[in-house]
Structure 1
Amino acid sequence: MSQKMELLMHTLVFINYICYVLLAASAIYRLLVFPLFITRLSKIPAAHPLCNVTSLWIYYIRWADIENRTIQRLHKQKGPILRIGPNELSVNCYEEGIKTIYGGGFEKTEFYPRRFANYDGVINIFTTLDSKSHSHRKRMVSNIYSKSFILSSPTVHTTSKVVIYKRLLPLIQQHATTGISIETLSLNYSYSMDAFTAYQFGLGLGTNFIQDVKTRDWYLGNYFAIRPYMFWIGDGYKIWSLLMRIGVNIIPTKVLDAFPEIQAYNLELCDKAEALLSDARALSIEDVPVIYSQERSAMRKDIDAKRFQNPHFLKTEQDYPRRLEIASDMFDMNAAALETSGITLTYLYYELSRHPELQTKLRQELLTLSPTFSFPVPEGQEPELPDSKEVDRLPLLDAILQETLRLYQAVPGRQPRITPAKGCTLAGYSDIPGGVVVQSYGSVLHRNPAVFPDPANWKPERWLNAGEEELKEMKRWFWAFGSGGRMCVGTHVAIHNMKSAIAAIYTNYTTTVVSAGDMAQSDGFMGDPVGKNVVLQFYHV
């Protein structure tokens, strides 16, 4: 080999060596030096030493279903802001916290469409990422979800009367008469779904899970089948997808097939509502599909406006305009109603059953209504509901519901957002860069002892006895329905339906706990009872 060739080979080896050194140095800088010492996030207390350089720790506690309790414990130890990953923060304060993040319109992350988009990825109001698009979609239905509309709606009034007097109370009366106890978690899911879909699709098309136990069991079985595998749908999505490609099924096929079945059930309800409205017949008050009709009308106006600008807009093969978009919204709305209100009512009845003296006080308050929710209704008389506004104003009823929503928030888990490109100030740190995932947890916010003394105990009286400033502070930190522009659109219909059920039951019955499984909340995004079984005995007063 000539000297030139030998020199060239040595040169190439040297260059190759330098490249490896540079690559190694770059990796060390990017993976260790920058996240540990250079990034502005390095000043923030880390939940665990690994959080500075890898997301493995936060993925582990999510996989192990211990996220909410772990984050709560660490905030108590380390303060209002935690670094839970190289580019991820948890914030537990109001000023420079939820006020900034959720009141400031920070955009959502891919966490939402990955877990909550329906019909193979069709976006809905909840999963819309950018604030502008979300605001546009939310305005389509916001008027029919307003408190004034709900409390004065003849459809809500009429359908509530049927669901309560023809379905819920007769079932409870039968059990009270025979002395047979009731498993209330599934009953509360059923009531919540029936009450909501009666407003959504009309009474004739809405569900009747209270009486149709077979359909209820099928629906709930399919709905909750995916729950143990939610980590893989969210944070473990890439690993799950990779394993699926090589034939390893972390999530059983029968579980993956279950959710599309209930989505098809929902789509059928949408198609029936579409056919009902397309027929142009006059509908009775109770059969008006208020929510579906409102979004259908708003979608068509939106299409007409865009078609005016572009005649070729929306060339679609769907059976009717935006069929799957509407269906995705409808499914998301009634799923949220079923689960959140069902969980809340279950914990509320459980706590009241352990506090008989409070049941007595509540019944005394409920009997001030005129008419009352008295049941059974005398033969030959038609049942009548009290004025919804009067029910809503009852202070003890409101305090009991507020305290249940505080202690047992149905959605206790994280609500991730992305910091804006210009950066922001959070919890005293003024140089948070853009593109960082930030989130708060309702279950953590609601356990701040400085705002909610003795936060681990259920104390409705805290909402009645608080001074003006104390109550104002509690309401600022109260996060059962979120806050800002992304606050739950169904807040007022949920409160109305829950208060109606509570008032109807405790006007007529007392309850005791027969048996209950583990009443701790599941430690994920949703917070149903771990034991999944709450059996109560009802006694007619």
Structure 2
Amino acid sequence: MTPITIPILLLVLPLLALYHYLLYPLLFSPLCKIPAANPFASISSLWILYIRWLNIENQTLLRLHEKLGPIVRLAPNELSVNCYEGGLKTIYGGGFAKDEFYVRRFVNYGKVNMLCMTDNKEHGLRRRMLSSVYSKSSIMSSANLRVTSRIILFDRLLPQLVKSAEDGKAVDMFKLSYAYSMDSFMAFQFGLKLGSNFLQDTRERDWYMNAFFGRRKWYFWSDNFSGLVGGLLKMGVHLVPKWITVANEEQADWVLKKCDQAEEMIASGQGIATGDEPTPFIQERAAMRKAGGDDKSDSKDYPYRWELASEMYDHSAAAMETSGDTLTYVFYELSRHPELQKKLRDELLQLDPPLRYTVDGEVDLPEFKALDNIPLLSAILQETLRRWTPVPGGQPRVTPSPVCSLAGYDNIPPGVKVHSSAGVLHRNPNVFPNPEEWNPDRWLEASDKQTSEMSRWFWAWSSGGTTCLGNNFATNSMKLVIAAVYSNFTTSIVDAEGIEQDEGYTAGPKGSKLMLQFNRIE
């Protein structure tokens, strides 16, 4: 390098940096015409990182879209989109690839599962492995599910509510909603014999839930600075507290053990009793072996041990959290509306047989299809999922090559992070009048045109090729417990302090409790 070159470089490099980091994103980028959330958002990610660190992203996005319209620039290379045409339809119906956020948050055992697969083809293949057992027809006709549902409701849950009503003691329905959701799903996933029993085993339930909730406030670091967290960990520095790492490992071992037990039960070749069948595990196990053969990378493991465990861990955690939060808010809202409890009960008691609890005698369940066809029950659940959506945070995707158009803006380049948020979409007053109001009648009294428009904007299950795989199971499971409770009890609020929804990708009540008084209906 000649002496004259050095001064030239000292002049050129700052000019290039000035153009790259300031002039281009501010004046020349195809995104520069999109309204910016903050004066600094066009040139730096620090503003949105600060909002996430404060844990106020969802409420901030709502205010921004109310002020700036359907598309907002959050960072030099990040957009929030809040519309159907040119938004949801384009991004999620058009197959935009997932952002790496899912990998940072949801990888288990070092193996990707369906939720964190960023490649659409790979995701589609994995989804097809499981779609048949999660289909509505399969859920509605499952003999195994009828057995597990009856036992969980009538042997585990309702006796506790009866005793609480007789003793005049309030019940924490937040914990019981989570416990029921976990037990209901894991009985489907692994069978009653191997599944959880959080409704009765309070020690195991509290261990799991304490660890589960304890890590929430540390997601900021792993979601946004995973490299830093991992690098410091190698040096023995725990940016995320060590106890969380230990708790995560313990929970992972807990699920892995259930997978190993399911594998042992299936491999034995012995008959499996109805109610003990690990339905999704069997299905995915067979599909993986059919697609890739039985070859083992490690002779100590059965085929696809870690891939199966990663999938099963993700499914059970998601089922517990999303259904647990939703049921908490269903019980909260119905406890505020005793007249609606009575109206719902009148409809529920028309079921054949009704879901009435008796101490003696064999109890049977009505047909799942009959339960699914109760309009008020469906409207109550739908409105709760809208008003208190359990996944209110952004669902990040990446724009494809060469360019795309979003919310009326053209030539958006590839590689831009874009996301929509159910918590914002569900508060569009033009689609959902008085959006903060919990009002099941909006689904019962709407015209066909209004119902169609609300359904387009309703996004509790996401949409497109990444629609929640378990939505049919979750809907059936939640309807069952709501129907069972209000066929037998009235509920009233004792303590709902902290019931307001927290922030986050997933979000339940800030106070993590809901104390209700149950009164038995004879």
Q: 1:354 aligns with which of 326, 336, 343?
A: 336
Aligned to 2:202: 213
Q: CA deviation at 1:246?
A: 5.4
Kindly state the Cα deviation for residue 385 of structure 1 after the two structures are TM-superposed: 0.5
Shift of residue 376, structure 1, vs aligned partner: 2.0
Instruction: Specify the alignment match of 2:97 in structure 1.
Output: 107
Distance in 2 between residues matched to 1:420 and 1:493, nearest whole Å: 33
Choose from 223, 236, 256 the match for 2:225: 236
Structure-to-structure mapping, 1:85-164, within 5 angstroms:
85-119=75-109, 121-164=110-153
CA distance in 2, matches of 1:195, 1:315: 33
The answer to whether residue 323 in structure 2 is matched with residue 334 in structure 1 is no
Residue 263 of structure 1 contacts residue 331 of structure 1 at CA under 8 Å; is this kept in 2? yes
Q: Give the CA deviation at 1:368.
A: 1.0
Q: CA deviation at 1:525?
A: 0.6
Alignment partners' CA distance in 2, 1:97 and 1:463:
24
Q: Indicate the SS of the match to 2:224.
A: coil
The separation in 2 between residues aligned to 1:486 and 1:192, in whole angstroms, is 22
Provide the residue aligned with 2:501 in structure 1: 521
The equivalent residue for 1:445 is 425
Counterpart amino acid of residue 459 in structure 1: N
**C-alpha separation in 2, matches of 1:206 and 1:246:** 38
Q: Could you say what secondary structure the match of 2:40 adopts?
A: helix
Aligned counterpart in structure 2 of residue 366 of structure 1, from 348, 364, 389: 348
The alpha-carbon deviation at position 248 of structure 1 amounts to 4.1
Q: What's the offset of the Cα at 1:260?
A: 0.9
> How far 1:321 moved relative to its partner?
0.3
Structure 1 contact 184–535 (Cα < 8 Å) conserved? yes
Tell me the percent identity. Answer: 49
Residue number in structure 1 paired with 2:407: 427
Corresponding residue number in structure 2 for 1:40: 30
Q: What is the CA–CA distance in structure 2 between the aligned matches of 1:507 and 1:369, rounded to whole Å?
A: 10
Q: Match of 2:92, as an amino acid? A: Y
Displacement of 1:316 = 3.4
1:176 matched to 2:165? The reply is yes
2:365 to 385, 389, 407: 385
2:238, 2:188 → 1: CA distance?
39
Match of 1:72? 62
The CA distance in 2 between the partners of 1:240 and 1:298, in whole Å, is 36
Deviation at 1:245, TM superposition (A): 5.2
TM-score (norm 2): 0.98
Q: Which moved further from structure 2: 201-210 or 249-258? A: 249-258
Matches of 1:101 and 1:135 in 2, distance apart? Answer: 16
- Read off the aligned partner of 1:468 and give its amino acid letter: D
Say if 2:230 is the partner of 1:250.
Answer: no
Q: Select which of 439, 444, 462 maps to 1:459.
A: 439
Query: Quick one: distance in 2 between partners of 1:318 and 1:185?
Result: 41
Is the Cα contact below 8 Å between 1:181 and 1:536 reproduced in 2? Answer: yes
The aligned residue for residue 271 of structure 1 is 260
Deviation at 1:15, TM superposition (A): 2.4
- Secondary structure of the equivalent of 1:524? coil
Per-residue deviation at 1:466?
A: 0.4
Compute the displacement of 1:259 (Å).
0.8
Q: Which residue does the alignment assign to 1:191?
A: 180
Mapped to 2, the partners of 1:349 and 1:191 lie a distance apart of 13
Which structure's CA Rg is the greater one? 1
Query: C-alpha distance in 2, partners of 1:286/1:474?
Result: 38
Comparing 316-325 with 179-188, greater Cα deviation is found at 316-325
Which structure 2 segments of 5+ residues have no match? none
1:69-125 alpha-carbon deviations (Å, 9 max, x no partner):
000100000000000010000000001101110111111111001111111x21001
| C-alpha distance in structure 1 between counterparts of 2:403 and 2:146, whole Å | 47
Aligned pairs for 1:241-320 within 5 A: 241-244=230-233, 247-304=236-293, 315-320=297-302
Where structure 1 has 5 or more consecutive residues not aligned to the other structure, the ranges are 1-7, 308-312
Residue 49 of structure 1 aligns to a residue whose secondary structure is: coil
State the Cα distance separating 1:236 from its structure 2 match.
Answer: 2.6
Once the two structures are TM-superposed, the CA of residue 18 in structure 1 deviates from its matched residue by 1.3
**Is the contact made by 1:96 and 1:426 (CA closer than 8 Å) also made in structure 2?**
yes
Distance (Å, rounded) in 2 between the aligned partners of 1:88 and 1:254: 33
Measured in 2, the distance between the counterparts of 1:497 and 1:284 equals 21
Are residues 1:474 and 2:454 paired?
yes
CA contact (8 A) 1:222 1:261 kept: no
Q: Alignment partner of 1:52: what SS?
A: coil
Match of 2:515, SS?
A: strand
What's the CA shift string for 1:398-453, capped at 9, x where partnerless? Answer: 00000000010101001000000122110001211111100000000000000000
For 1:40, what is the secondary structure of its paired residue?
coil
Question: 1:396 corresponds to which letter in structure 2?
Answer: L
For residue 344 of structure 2, what is the amino acid of its counterpart?
A: L
**Residues in 2 aligned to 1:255 and 1:333: alpha-carbon distance in whole angstroms:** 20
Match of 2:46 in 1: 56
Displacement of 1:391: 0.2
TM-score under structure 1 length normalisation: 0.95
Structure 2: distance between partners of 1:494 and 1:30: 48
- Counterpart Cα distance in 1 of 2:297 and 2:347: 57
Is it true that 1:411 corresponds to 2:391 in the alignment?
yes
Distance 1:315 1:263, change over 3 A: closer
The answer to whether the Cα contact below 8 Å between 1:517 and 1:532 also exists between their aligned partners in 2 is no
- Counterpart residue number, 1:4: none
Structure 2 CA distance for aligned equivalents of residues 243 and 493 of structure 1:
41
Tell me if the contact between 1:303 and 1:314 (Cα under 8 Å) persists in the aligned partners.
no
| Structure 1 residue 283: Cα displacement | 1.3
Which position in structure 1 is the counterpart of 2:381? 401
Confirm or deny: 8 A CA contact 2:336 2:493 kept in the other structure: yes
Separation in 2 of the partners of 1:423 and 1:166?
57
Tell me how far apart the structure 1 counterparts of residues 435 and 114 of structure 2 sit (CA, whole Å). Answer: 33
